Amino acid sequence: MLTFNLDSKSKLPLYEQLYKYIRNELETGGIKAGEKLPSKRELASHLKISVVTVETAYAQLAAEGYISPKPGSGFYAEAVQYAQTPEIKNIYIPEKSPGKKYRYNFKTNMVDTKLFPFSTWAKLSREILSEQSPELLSACDPRGTYELRKEIALYLKSFRGIEVHPDQIIVGSGSEYLTGLIIQLLGRNLIYGIEDPGYTKIYKIFHGNCPDIRPISMDEDGADYNSVKRSGADAVHITPSHHFPLGSVMPVNRRIELLKWAYDSDGRYIIEDDYDSEFRFSGRPVPAMQSLDSRGRVIYINTFTKSLAPSMRISYMILPPELLEKFMKELGFYACTVPVFEQLTLAKFMERGHFERHIRRMKKLYRQRRDTMTEAINSCGLKNCIALSGLDSGLHVLMKVNNSMTESQLVTSAENEDVKVYGLSGYYSFSKKDVPESCIIAGYSGLNEEDITEGVARLEKAWLRN
């Protein structure tokens, strides 16, 4: 007769302990296929447990196909075809922090979260939750809640000169996610043109999803019109407000030229990634291509990841009417990926002017850091061998270094001083043959002023030692 120790202190109910025991016997051959199990009464009396407990365990085993009842005769073990206990799995654990850490890391796209208004955010969250509205828990419109889309539309009108209806706005958890949706919407078999150099993630997304992608080369005004034209692309992804990593701002005439390119043929689109247009330090931003477009060929995309916090996965895009209709029909089944809590909190944050104030404070902080960076360079020996550019917007500078070191020598010698800067060549995804010599990218948004100054002093040491 089956015998095992019941553990009355276990968190598992008795029937489940019994179930597990018998299942294990079946799986390991302790009970063979076809063998009759003890009657419920017998087993209950043998183990000093109730008949109901045995009944429950048997019912469960029968439901799962381990045993089968024969009417009037009791339960019989089934042939359990696969009886092996899973092996101890050899789990791949990726390194937590691949690569060396540097004391002074001029990483790009860092967000300083020191100024994040925690208490305001907490207060607004509490307000939202205390309303206990069923809306908070129900799935929202696939485009996001109307409340947030309305605030985004108002913000775009006041600060970006873009007039759109909230219904054209689609909220999603990050620009990467939205870019994936755009590819699904336009079709993965279009030919996509991508800025080269450019944002490596964008390259990876298009490369991973679309069979035919082409490089768009850059000049001092941003994406090169002739390159776009020659590329054969149906749709191009560009960053006219602030090119990453070159820092160029596309003048209005180039924007108009590119729009004309889009109008020249049916089915051509421009994906305008306006990713850090909030951080323009002089004057107001050039009009977005979205607002220059009268024929529905621009898809505008922007994010709160850089303006609020990277952990806050909220981005949005604006679709022209025709694409919006297609989106709702073909992709409207996708639930909006941003939690409604977060959407409503952000909407209130914007409605009450906190977002505007936050951007202003961040901009001030970043401007100080940029000034510290340029002053440090211009007041030391590097002044004569560095041409700085990309200073008017964004959160990094481009340095053309003229000290007869190669890019990789510049990077390595900085590393030897515990400073991390980035070679421009790393942002070329298609081919490295057109990479300008000795250009370095340095982000200043993640370092305080003291560290920036010290970091630059060390760069001077590294690059001018000889």
Q: CB-wise, 132 or 466, nearer to its own copies?
A: 132
Q: CB-wise, 285 or 410, nearer to its own copies?
A: 285
* Residue 335 · residue 139 · CB < 8 Å: yes
Shortest spacing between CB 7 and its own copies, in angstroms: 15
Shortest spacing between CB 320 and its own copies, in angstroms: 8
Q: CB-wise, 85 or 466, nearer to its own copies?
A: 85
Shortest spacing between CB 236 and its own copies, in angstroms: 18
Residue 74 has which token pair? 């009791």
Shortest spacing between CB 445 and its own copies, in angstroms: 13
DSSP 151: H
Instruction: Identify whether 245 is preceded by a cis peptide bond (ω within 30 of 0).
Output: yes
Q: CB-wise, 1 or 91, nearer to its own copies?
A: 91
CB contact set of 259 (below 8 Å; sequence gap of 6+): 270, 289, 292, 293, 297, 298
Shortest spacing between CB 155 and its own copies, in angstroms: 13
- 174: region left, alpha or beta (phi > 0 left; psi from -120 to 50 alpha): left
Q: What is the largest CA-CA distance in the chain?
A: 99
Q: CB-wise, 291 or 413, nearer to its own copies?
A: 291
Q: Are strands 169-172 and 192-195 parallel, antiparallel or unpaired?
A: unpaired
* Residue 231 · residue 216 · CB < 8 Å: yes
Q: CB-wise, 187 or 381, nearer to its own copies?
A: 187
Distance CA(52)–CA(32), nearest Å, equals 25
Q: CB-wise, 45 or 337, nearer to its own copies?
A: 337
DSSP 393: B
Q: Cα-Cα-Cα-Cα dihedral of 70, 75, 81, 87, to 10°?
A: 160
Q: CB-wise, 250 or 414, nearer to its own copies?
A: 250
For the chain, percent helix, then strand, then coil, each to nearest 5? 40, 15, 45
Q: Cα-Cα-Cα-Cα dihedral of 144, 204, 298, 152, to 10°?
A: 30
Q: CB-wise, 441 or 456, nearer to its own copies?
A: 441
Shortest spacing between CB 457 and its own copies, in angstroms: 26
Shortest spacing between CB 265 and its own copies, in angstroms: 17
Q: CB-wise, 239 or 305, nearer to its own copies?
A: 305
- The number of helices, as runs of H, and strands, as runs of E, in the chain is 15, 17
Q: Specify the residue for token string 């990726």.
A: 94
CB contact set of 199 (below 8 Å; sequence gap of 6+): 239, 244, 273, 427
Shortest spacing between CB 304 and its own copies, in angstroms: 11
Shortest spacing between CB 251 and its own copies, in angstroms: 3
Residue 24 has which token pair? 């294990």
Q: CB-wise, 358 or 458, nearer to its own copies?
A: 358
Residue 463 has which token pair? 């690059």
Shortest spacing between CB 45 and its own copies, in angstroms: 23
Distance CA(382)–CA(153), nearest Å, equals 45
Q: Specify the residue for token string 């509490």.
A: 126
CB contact set of 434 (below 8 Å; sequence gap of 6+): 217, 428
Shortest spacing between CB 8 and its own copies, in angstroms: 18
Shortest spacing between CB 459 and its own copies, in angstroms: 26
As to burial, measured by CB atoms within 10 angstroms (0-12 exposed, 13-18 middle, 19+ buried), residue 426 is middle
Distance CA(45)–CA(35), nearest Å, equals 20
Number of neighbouring beta carbons within 10 Å of residue 433 = 6
Distance CA(249)–CA(246), nearest Å, equals 9
Q: CB-wise, 131 or 434, nearer to its own copies?
A: 131
